[in-house]
Structure 1
Amino acid sequence: MTSLRDGTARPISAETHGALARTAGVTAATTLTIYIVLLFVVPSNTSIAALGGLGRPAQLWGLFLLFWWALSRLQARTPGTLRSVPQPVRYALAAFVVIALVSFAAAMLRGQPADQVSPATTALLRLASWSGVLLVAMDGIRTYSDVAKLIRRLSLAGAAMAALGLVQFFTGQTWLDWIVNIPGLAFEGTDAAMRGSFTRASGTAIHPLEYGTAVVAAIPLAITTAVNKGFRTTPSRYAGWWWAPVAVILFASVVSVSRSALIGMVVAVIASLPAIPAAYRWLIGVGGGIIAIGVFAFVPGMFGTIMNLFVGASDDPSTQSRTAALARVPEFLSSSPLIGQGFGTFLPRYYIFDNAWVLLLVELGILGALCLAMMVLVAMGSAIWSSRHSPFADVRAMGRALVASLLTISVLLIFFDGLSFPISAGLLFLMIGLTASVRTVAAADEDLVGALRHVSRPEPAQPAASVLPQAKSAQREAVK
C-alpha cells in the first residue's frame, strides 16, 4: 500500500509490489505459463536421459521456480507502508514440508533398503518442485491481469489435452512415439490402454486416470472463462469462442471410458454452478445433455460401457482392490502412526494403494495427511474469502472456479495415487497457489474501493456501488 496526499492507503502497482512481480522483464505469469506448457505438452513419461527420474522437465522447472522465489525474497524491496495480505496457505505448506522432512529423517535413521533411499530423495525433490510452483503463484501473481492470463491458459491447456485424448480415442494410437527420436530424451512409450472395445485416452499423461484429472479439473476454469468472455476488459467479437474449450473438455470427459473421470466431471460441473449466473446454469445443463446424447448416438456401445462401469462396479477388480486396501492401512500405519513410513519409501512391492490420501497417510502418517488436507481446505477458504470481499464479479467468479477445480482434484485423488503422477500433483499445487493470488487481488480491490470512496466523498461516506466503475477502471489500468 502507498498513501494518497490525504494519507489514505491505496494499492501499489505490480511493478513495485515485490521482486517476483517483475524481474528484468520476466514476470511470474510468464514463468508459470512455461510450467503449464511443460506440464501439459511434454509427455509425463519423458525425461532428460542423463538425469533419470529426476529429469522430468516440469519438475526441473519447478525447482528453478523455488530457487527464483528464494532469491527474490532476499532481494525484495517494498515500501514500509505496504500492507501484507495474510496467506494461511503459506503456513499450511510450511507445516506439510516440515512433516515430510521429519518423516524422511526418521525413515533414514531407522535404516532403509538401498532401493528405497533414491525414491525417498526423489519424493523430497518433487515436493520442493511443487512448493516452488505454489510459492511463485502465491507471491508473484498479484494483479487481476496475471490471474486472468493463467486461468485462460489453464483452460486452453485442458482443452488441448482433451483434444489429443479425442484423437487417441478415435484412432486407437497415442501419437507420441515420435519423441523417442529426440536426442537426449528418455521416453517410456506404451500402447493405448483399452476398456472393452474402446481406447482409453491418456493424452500426454502417464495413465488415463491422470489424464482424466487434468481434463475435468479444467472444467470449472473453462466454464467461468467462457461466462466472463475470457476475462477481457474490452469487448471482443470472438468472446463466444471461449465456449469451444468447454465443449471439447465435456465431450472428452464423456468418452474417457473412466469411472473416476465421469465422477470428476459431475463434481466439476456441479461445483462450477455457484461461480456463474443463473441464466448460464441452464445453458451448461442443456449443453452437457446434448453432448452426452450426441456421444451415445454416434459412438455405438458407449452408453452400455458407461452403464457397466457403475452397475458392475462392485465386481470390478480395481474397485475390489481399493476396498481391500483400506483394511490394510492399520497394519502399515501401526509402526509410525503420526509421521508414517517416510515420504516416497512405500514402494509398490509392499502394496498398491489406488488412493493418494491413503498412501499419504501411510507415508506421512496422520499428521502429514492432515497437513495436506488442511492445505487444500485453507486454499479453498482463501478463494471463498476473495469471492466475498472483492467488489468485482469477475474476481469473485475466479475464486469460486478455483474452489471447484480444487474440490474436483481432491475427490479424484481418492481413485488413484495422484501425487505420484506429475500432471495431477503439479496441477494441485498450482491451483493452491492461485487461490492465494486471488486473495491478494481481492484484498487490493477491497482497499481500492475503500480509498476511492474516502477520497471522492469524505462526508458522508460514498456508497461502494457508486465508486465501483472508477475503481475497476483504476485497477485494470494499473496492470497495463
Structure 2
Amino acid sequence: MILPSGAVRPRPGASDWQPVLLKVPARLSRTISGWSPLLWRKWRLTTFTFLATFLVLQFLIPARMVISGMGAAGRPSAAVGCLLGFLWLVSAFRPRGLPRGSQPVRWVVGLFVGVQLLGHVVGFDRLPSPVEASAGTRWLIFVMSIAGVTLAVADGVVSRAALDRLLRTMVVLASMMSMVGILQYLRIVDLTSYIRLPGVQLNSDLIGVSSRGSEDFARVAGTATHYIEYGVVLALILPVALHYAFFASPGGAKVWSWLLAGTVAFGIPLSISRSATLTLVVVLFLLAVVWPWRLRYNALVIGVMGVVAFRAINPGVLGTIRALFANAENDTSVTDRIARTSYVIDLWQERPWLGRGAGMVIPEEYILLDNQWYMTLLDGGVLGVLAMALFFLVPYFMARSIRLRGLDEETRHLGQALAVTIPAAIMSAGTFDSFSFTTWVGVMSVLIGAIGALWRLDGTTVTRPLQLGVPSDSYVTTPLFAQARRRIRGAWSAAELRSRSSATTPSDGRGDS
C-alpha cells in the first residue's frame, strides 16, 4: 500500500500511540482482558483434582467418619477411589485412553483384584455367616478403591511436574495430620472432635488420646484409625518428604520443605509404637544406603541433634519406646501374637490353597490376629499370599530399576525414596492387620501408583544401561555392583584385546616340537 506524502510509516509490531496518562499498565491490561466472572469460568476436572481430593479426605477427615448409611465401607476417600477405578475402566475401553508402553503396575493390580474376586467366590461357596458375607463385600469395595487410586496415579499423571505436585501435596497433608497429633499430645486441642461434615457421621467413637508406659505418656493417633497406623503412615511418607527437602530450590522453598519433613518426623514417636519405630528404622537405613558418605555423616549429626532436642522437649518418651523392645518378652501384645501362630496353622490347613474367603476372616468370628500376613493366609490361602507379595515386590523392583537407571540424580533418588517404602510396608504388615486401616492402604496405593508413573514418565526399561554417578551428584552414589560390572567388563575387554593381538602376531616359522 502507498502512503500519502508526509505520512510516517509505523514501526513493525508497534501499537497505536496514546498519551502516557491514558496508558494502562501491561500487567493490569492482561488481567482485565482475561477476567471473567467466577461462575462463567470453565473448570476442567483432571486426574490430579480427584487424587488431591482423595488425599484431603484421607488425611484431614477422621478415619472413623463414614458416609451416612454406608457403614465401615463408606469412608469418603474410599468412594473417591471407587470413582477413580470406574473412570480408569472407561478410559481403558476408549481408543488411546491409556498411556502407551509397558506398565507393570497394571498387571500386578489386575492380578491382585482377580485373586480377591476369586477368593470372594470361594468364600461364598462354603456358606459363610451373614457377618462374614458382609465383611467380604466390604473388602471388595476397598479392593476396588485400592485399584482405582493405584491405576489413576500410575496412568493418569501426565507429567513429572504433576507427579511431584501430587507427592508434595501428600507430604503437606501428612504434616497436617502429624500436627493434629502433636496438638493432641500437648493437650492443646483435639481437632478431630470438632470436624463435622454434612452427610458424614462417625461409624464408631473417636479413639482419642491414650497412654502407654510406666509414666502414662500420651499416645496419639491424629486423624488415623489407630495409634499404630498414625506412626507407621508418617514413617512411610518421611522418605518422600526428605527427598523433596533435599531437592527443593534454595531459599524459602527449601526452608518450607524441611519444616514439613521435620513435622512429619516429629509425629512418629508420639504414637509410642514398636511398628512405627521399626518402619522408621527400615526406611532410613535403606534410604541412607544410596547416599554418599558425606551426606550420611551429616544426616547422622542432624539425627542425633533431633533426638536430643526431642528428648529435651518430651523427656521419657524415647525411653518408653526403648522399653517396648527391651521388655518385649513380657508384653502381652507380643506374646499373644506368637501364641496365635498354632491357631493360624490349624485353621489354614483346613483350606490351604484358596482360603476361607477374601476379607471374611474377622475378629467377630475368629480372633484378632494383628498380622496381615496371617489374615491373608487364612482368607486367601497360598494364592492370596502370593498375590499380596507380588503386589508389593513388583513395584519394589520397578523402583529399584529407576534408582539404577534413572536419567538424572533427582529421578534416581526419588526412585529409591519410593522403593524403601515397600520393604517397610511388608515388615509393618507383619506387626498389625494393615489392610484393615484405610489410611495405610490409601498411602500405599498412592506410593505404588507413583512408582508406576515414574517408571512410565522416565521411560525406564530393564535394558537401559546402569547410570553411573558423576562427581556433582550430592545425594546418590554409584551402585556398587555397577562399579564391579564396569571393572569386569574392562578386564574382559583387555583380555580379549590381548588374545586378538597374540593371535595376529606373525609366526617365526618354527613349528612346535
TM-score (norm 2): 0.77
Q: Do the aligned partners of 2:231 and 2:270 also contact (CA within 8 Å) in 1?
A: no
Contact 1:28–1:141 (CA under 8 A) maintained in structure 2: yes
Q: Could you say which residue in structure 1 is the equivalent of 2:361?
A: 346
**Deviation at residue 29 of structure 1 after TM alignment:** 2.3
Distance in 1, Cα, partners of 2:421 & 2:137: 30
Contact 1:390 1:445 in 2 (8 A): no
Go from structure 1 to structure 2 and tell me whether the alpha carbon gap of 1:408 and 1:331 turns closer, same or farther (over 3 Å shift). same
Q: Hey, what's the Cα distance between the residues in 1 that align with 2:265 and 2:176?
A: 12
The size of the alignment, in residue pairs, is: 421
CA positional deviation for 1:334: 1.4
**Other-structure match for 2:88:** 69
Contact 2:405 2:460 in 1 (8 A): no
In the TM superposition, what is the alpha-carbon distance from 1:172 to its structure 2 partner?
7.5
User: What's 2:408 paired with?
Assistant: 392
**Cα 1:26–1:258 shift into 2, 3 Å:** same
Show the counterpart of 2:337: 322
More helix as a share of residues: 1
The correspondence for 2:238, drawn from 219, 222, 225, is 219
Q: Mapping of 1:244-259 within 5 angstroms?
A: 244-259=259-274
Q: Distance in 2 between matches of 1:153 and 1:285?
A: 27
Q: What are the Cα deviations for residues 201-223 of structure 1, in whole angstroms up to 9, with x where unaligned?
A: 10101100111121101111011
- Report the Cα offset of residue 300 of structure 1: 2.9
Which whole-Å CA distance do the structure 1 matches of 2:338 and 2:176 have between them? 34
Q: Does 1:134 align with 2:143?
A: no
Q: 1:38 aligns with which of 23, 35, 57?
A: 57
Distance 1:53 1:302 in 2: 33
- Shift of residue 314, structure 1, vs aligned partner: 0.8
Q: Output aligned runs, 1:73-88, within 5 Å.
A: 73-77=92-96, 84-88=100-104
CA distance in 1, matches of 2:456, 2:291: 22
Shift of residue 275, structure 1, vs aligned partner: 5.1
CA separation in 1, counterparts of 2:69 and 2:114? 30
Aligned to 2:257: 242
**Rounded Cα–Cα distance in structure 1 between residues aligned with 2:119 and 2:51:** 30
Which deviations, in whole Å up to 9, do the C-alpha atoms of 1:31-90 show, x marking residues without a partner?
Answer: 2111111111111100111222232101000000001111122234379xx8x4322222
CA distance in 2, matches of 1:64, 1:160: 25
Deviates more, 1:160-169 or 1:207-216: 160-169
Among 200, 205, 208, the residue aligned to 1:191: 208
In the alignment, what sits opposite 1:299? 314
Corresponding residue to 2:71 among 25, 28, 52:
52
After superposition, where does 1:274-289 map in structure 2 within 5 Å?
Answer: 274=289, 276-289=291-304
Specify the code of the residue in structure 2 equivalent to 1:202: A
- Alignment RMSD (CA, Å): 2.6
Range with greater deviation from structure 2 (358-367 or 294-303): 294-303
- What is the distance in 2 between the residues matched to 1:424 and 1:364? 20
> Displacement, 1:226?
0.7
The structure 2 residue matched to 1:263, chosen from 278, 282, 291, is: 278
With 30-39 and 56-65 compared, the bigger mean Cα shift is at: 30-39
Instruction: Name which of structure 1's ranges 215-224 and 110-119 shifts more when overlaid on structure 2.
Output: 110-119
* Partner SS, residue 223 of structure 2: coil
- Partner of residue 272, structure 1: 287
Q: Compute the displacement of 1:178 (Å).
A: 1.9
Q: Give the Å deviation of 1:107.
A: 1.3
Distance in 1 (CA, whole Å) between partners of 2:461 and 2:347 is 49
Q: Measure the CA separation in 2 of the matches of 1:98 and 1:45.
A: 28
Tell me: CA distance 1:147–1:446, structure 2 relative to 1, closer, same or farther (3 Å): farther
**CA radius of gyration, larger in:** 2
What whole-Å deviation, never above 9, does each CA across 1:320-379 have from its counterpart, x for those lacking one? 111112222211111211111111211203111111111111111111111111121100
Aligned to 1:313: 328
SS of structure 2 residue aligned to 1:194 = strand
Q: Secondary structure at the match of 1:218?
A: helix
CA deviation profile, 1:180-227 (whole Å, cap 9, x unmatched): x54432113233121131111101011001111211011110111111
Aligned-partner Cα distance in 2 for 1:276–1:318: 36
Unaligned segments of structure 1, at least 5 residues: 1-22, 450-464, 466-480
> Which residue number corresponds to residue 13 of structure 1?
none
Give CA-to-partner distance per residue, 1:2-23, whole Å, 9 cap, x none.
xxxxxxxxxxxxxxxxxxxxx9
Alignment of 1:332-343 (within 5 A): 332-343=347-358
- Cα deviation, 1:418-474, whole Å, max 9, x if unaligned, reads 10110011111221111111100110799999xxxxxxxxxxxxxxx9xxxxxxxxx
Structure 1 equivalent of residue 488 of structure 2: none
Equivalence for 1:205: 224
Q: Partners in 2 of 1:209 and 1:242 — Cα distance? A: 25
Residue 8 of structure 1 aligns with which residue?
none
SS at the partner of 2:70? Answer: helix
Q: Which residue of 1 aligns with 2:45?
A: 26
Correspondence for 2:184: 168
Distance 2:335 2:164 in 1: 42
Write the distance in 2 (CA, Å) between the matches of 1:192 and 1:433: 33
Q: Who is 1:4 aligned against? A: none
Unaligned runs of 5+ in 2: 1-41, 471-513
Does the 8 Å CA contact 2:180/2:222 hold for their aligned counterparts?
yes
Given the superposition, is the C-alpha separation of residues 445 and 157 from structure 1 closer, same or farther in structure 2, using an over 3 Å criterion? farther
TM-score w.r.t. the length of structure 1 is 0.82
CA distance in 1, matches of 2:77, 2:334: 31
Amino acid at match of 1:437: A
With 63-72 and 264-273 compared, the bigger mean Cα shift is at 264-273
2:116–2:384 CA contact under 8 A, matched in 1: yes
Structure 2 Cα separation of the partners of residues 368 and 446 of structure 1: 28
- The correspondence for 2:164, drawn from 148, 158, 161, is 148
The range that moved more, 215-224 or 378-387, is: 378-387
Distance 1:409 1:97 in 2: 19
Distance 2:169 2:292 in 1: 22
- Worse overlay, 187-196 or 124-133: 187-196
- Distance in 1 between residues matched to 2:157 and 2:463, nearest whole Å: 18
Distance 1:58 1:385 in 2: 31
Q: How far has the Cα of 1:295 moved from its partner? A: 2.1
Relative to structure 1, the CA distance from residue 445 to residue 371 in structure 2 (aligned partners, 3 Å threshold; closer, same or farther) is: closer
Q: Please give the secondary structure, in 1, of the residue aligned with 2:211.
A: strand
User: What is residue 360 of structure 1 aligned with on the other side?
Assistant: 376
